[in-house]
Amino acid sequence: MYMNTNTRIIAPEFDFAQPKSLDEGFALMDEHGADARLIAGGTDLLVQMKMERISPAWVISLARIDELRAITAGKGLSLGAMASIKEVSVAAPVKAGYAALAEACNAYSTVSIMLMGTIGGNICNASPAADTAPALLAFDAVAVVKSARGSRRVAMADFFAGPGKSALKPGEILTAIELPEPAAGSGSAFLKISRVVADISQVCVGVSLVRDGDRITDCRIALGSVAPTPIRIAGAEAALGGQKGGDAVFDKAAEIAARDIKPISDARASESYRRHAARIIVRDALKTAWQRAAEGAAK
Amino acid sequence: MIQVKMTVNGKEKSGEVEGRTLLASFLRDTLGLTGTHVGCDTGQCGACTVHVDGVAVKSCNMLAAEADGASVDTIEGQAAPDGTLNAIQQAFQDHHGLQCGFCTPGMVMSAAALLKDNPRPSEAEIRFHLSGNICRCTGYHNIVKAIMAASGQDVSAIAAE
């Protein structure tokens, strides 16, 4: 297949619009349908357009819709889809209550890409390697999706449909990502393995658990770069629910995760390496989250 | 065609661009500001780093139309009008922070963004901040030294080679 590898310019022409309100954005999306692509930070989309993997007739920027940038904490946390990865990484409520998400944002490529890339763009791009996805899955986040016809809420577990495919339907815009308030005794952690910091992950994991004394009362474990979409590992979560926390059960859950993922071999890592690395980082992330949950309870 | 207006290094500039025109192309080809270099063009090397409304961005990875109305700062605006280098540029010269010089405009602009937010960064903070700027001559130690020096800090503790 012909593949343009010249990335100096965007060769195909397109029209460009910067709506100032969501309603204006919906009207443009409805008018141009499948010919239009939304652009957020552009760190993924423009590179794909240079390589002619995507050649939309219209590019619609969300950068001028101010309401999409807000990060608001109340009961839980709402992240505007256009909040930059950097803004999310330094937001006080993220650092205080959602450690795995702060860590995922800090592991997200380099500083200049963190400044340009957005939380909404990261998940709408629907890469199996999206760094924020395992963290958002571990927190049971919900995507708030709006269109001219109304709004709906999509659980993060239902948001990823395949490599590059999200649950968004034509005319819809992701406006925010909502994270529920962490239960008392919660702890979380995110770990990523990549060749250098600028690379996407070979494997990454986000975990969140609730600790009651020496028991794990709730747990979510999600991995990236190990399947066609970021995924939760139900078997590993079930192995921990109600158990006494400790190295033995964390090792067991990590083994199940390494077994149940469906990694491929590609330029970044082999299948066997991904399984090996997944087992280690799942175990380590669980230990860290467990420790953090204890520290939280002590306060 | 799209009409854009932006303040570039303090001066009002305007022009016509296509939707597909990258900010780096507009700066280089339309405004003739060729100090902004284009290396990888995939957002990895950082040679095209400029400031848009005070935020360091990779200008090869932004459409010119997206910068309409913004204030843009490039390497050309760093020295004084009479050519006197600013503190960061002078420190790059003093500490041999460049070899071939291709990455230097991006390095200086990234360093400027760092020092604006963090006037006395640690060596580790400098290295983390520059992770999106690649130097093919691999002269990183002297670049880090230059930025330490530009922020008024002792550079003797940084590895020599």
Last residue of a domain, one of B25, B55, B76: B76
Least confident of A105-109, A139-143, A260-264, B101-105: A105-109
Helix (H) / strand (E) containing A191: strand A186-193
In angstroms, rounded to a whole number, what is the distance separating the alpha carbons of residues A297 and B11?
56
Which pLDDT value is given to residue A101? Answer: 98
pLDDT tens-digit series, residues B42-91: 888 999 999 999 999 999 999 999 999 999 999 999 999 999 999 999 99
Q: Would B160 be classed as within a structural domain?
A: no
- Tell me whether A148 touches chain B (CB under 8 Å): no
Are residue B93 and residue B131 in the same domain, yes or no? yes
Distances (CA, A) of B7 to A94, A170, B28, B77: 34, 36, 15, 11
Task: Out of B76, B110, B130, pick the residue that ends a domain.
Answer: B76
The predicted structure's pLDDT at residue B156: 82
Pair (B62, B124) in one structural domain: no
As a residue count, chain B comes to 161
Residues of chain B with Cβ-Cβ distance to A50 below 8 Å are: 41-42
Q: Which of B27, B29, B31 is nearest to B67 (CA)?
A: B27
Assess if residue B157 is contained within a domain.
no
Q: What is the per-residue pLDDT for A1?
A: 42
Mutation target for B interface from A64, A109, A112: give the one with most B CBs within 10 A: A112
Which domain-ending residue is among B39, B55, B76? Answer: B76
Strand-strand pairing, A165-166 and A160-162? antiparallel
The band of B135, judged by pLDDT with boundaries at 50, 70 and 90, is: very high
- A190 has pLDDT over 70: yes
Residue A34 has pLDDT above 60, yes or no: yes
A4 touches chain B (CB under 8 A): no
pLDDT at A6 over 60: no
Q: What is the pLDDT of residue B41?
A: 77
Q: What angle do CA A33, A85, B62 make, to 5 degrees?
A: 55
Inside any domain, residue B72: yes
pLDDT: is A205 or B138 the higher one? Answer: A205
Q: What is the pLDDT of residues A101-117, one digit of tens each?
A: 999 999 998 998 999 99
| Closest Cβ opposite residue B19 in set A16, A115, A197 | A16
Task: Residue A143: name the closest of A152, A131, A134 by CA.
Answer: A152
Count of CB pairs separated by less than 8 Å, A with B: 84
Co-location of B55 and B119 in the same domain: no
Q: Is the pLDDT of residue A5 over 80?
A: no
Nearest to A140 by CA among A69, A235, A222: A222
For residues B104 and B56, membership in a common domain is answered with no
**Any domain includes B139:** yes
- Whether residue B69 is found in the same domain as residue B135: no
Cα angle for residues A26, A32, A37 (degrees, 5° grid) = 80
SS3 string, chain A, reads CCCCCCCCCCCCCCEEECCCCHHHHHHHHHHHHHHEEEECCCCCHHHHHHCCCCCCCEEEECCCCHHHHCEEEECEEEEECCCEHHHHHHCHHHHHHCHHHHHHHHCCCCHHHHHHCEHHHHHHCCCCCCCHHHHHHHCCCEEEEEECCEEEEEEHHHHEEECCEECCCCCCEEEEEEECCCCCCEEEEEEEECCCCCCCCCEEEEEEEEEECCEEEEEEEEEECCCCCCEECHHHHHHHCCCECCHHHHHHHHHHHHHHCCCCCCCCCCHHHHHHHHHHHHHHHHHHHHHHHHHHHHC
Q: Rounded mean pLDDT of A38-59?
A: 94
Chain B residues within an 8 Å CB radius of A115? 55-57
pLDDT tens for each residue of B86-114: 999 999 999 999 999 999 999 999 999 99
Q: Confirm if A12 and B30 have CB atoms less than 8 A apart.
A: no
Residue type (1 letter), A273: Y
ipTM entry: 0.91
pTM for this model (two decimals): 0.94
Do residue B8 and residue B69 come from a single domain?
yes
Tokens of A3: 């593949």
Looking at the DSSP bridge assignments, the partners of residue A84 are A118
> Both tokens of residue B17?
């661009």
Residues in chain A within 8 Å Cβ distance of B43? 43, 46-47, 113, 116
Q: Please indicate, yes or no, whether residues B67 and B91 belong to a single structural domain of this protein.
A: no
Task: Name the DSSP class of B28.
Answer: I
Instruction: Establish how many alpha carbons lie within 13 A of residue A289's alpha carbon, considering only the half-sphere containing its beta carbon.
Output: 37
Q: Does A111 touch chain B (CB under 8 A)?
A: yes
Contact B44 A15 (CB under 8 A): no
B64 with B19, same domain?
A: yes
Residue B156 lies in a domain: no
The answer to whether position B159 is within a domain reads no
- B111 with B146, same domain: the answer is yes
What pLDDT is recorded for position A227? 96
**Strand pairing partners for A190?**
A206
pLDDT at A285 over 60: yes
- Given a cut of 60, is residue A155 above it in pLDDT? yes
Q: What is the model's pLDDT at position A298?
A: 46
Tokens representing A273? 């390496």
In a domain, B109, yes or no: yes
Question: Would the pLDDT of A299 be above 90?
Answer: no
Residues from B contacting A (CB-CB < 8 Å) are 2, 18-20, 22, 25, 38, 40-44, 46, 49, 55-58, 61-63, 65-66, 68, 110, 128-129, 131-133
Check residue A197 and give its pLDDT.
78
Residues of A in contact with B46 (CB under 8 A): 110, 112
Tell if the CB–CB gap between A9 and B58 is shorter than 8 Å. no
Return the pLDDT at B53.
96
Res A272: pLDDT: 97
SS3 B55: strand
Count of domains for chain B? 2
Give the domain range for residue B12: 2-76
Q: Which residues of A touch B128 (CB under 8 A)?
A: 111, 197
Better-scored residue on pLDDT, A198 or A284: A284
Q: Has residue B135 been placed in a domain?
A: yes
Tokens of A89: 């990484």
**Whole-number pLDDT of residue B160:** 56
Cβ-based neighbour number of residue B82 at 10 Å: 5
Q: Which residue ranges form the domains of chain A, and what is each CATH number? A: 16-49+56-61 (no CATH), 69-179 (3.30.465.10), 186-298 (3.30.390.50)
Q: Does A53 touch chain B (CB under 8 A)?
A: no
Phi, psi (rounded to 5 degrees) for A207? -130, 150
Q: Do you know the residue count of chain A? A: 299
Radius of gyration of chain A (CA): 19
CATH number of the CATH domain containing B92: 1.10.150.120
CA distance A293 to A182: 11
- The pLDDT value given to residue A7: 57
| Average pLDDT of the residues of chain A | 94
Same domain assignment for residues B130 and B100: yes
* CATH assignment at residue B42: 3.10.20.30
| Contact check, Cβ <8 Å, B68/A18 | yes
* Separation of first and last alpha carbons in chain B: 51
Q: Cα torsion at A252, A160, A143, A59 (round to 10°)?
A: 150
Write the pLDDT tens digit of every residue in B8-55: 999 999 999 999 999 999 999 999 999 999 998 788 899 999 999 999
Residue A24 has pLDDT above 90, yes or no: yes
Residue B67 sits in the same domain as residue B94: no
Assess whether B66 and B111 both reside in one domain: no
**Amino acid occupying residue B93:** Q
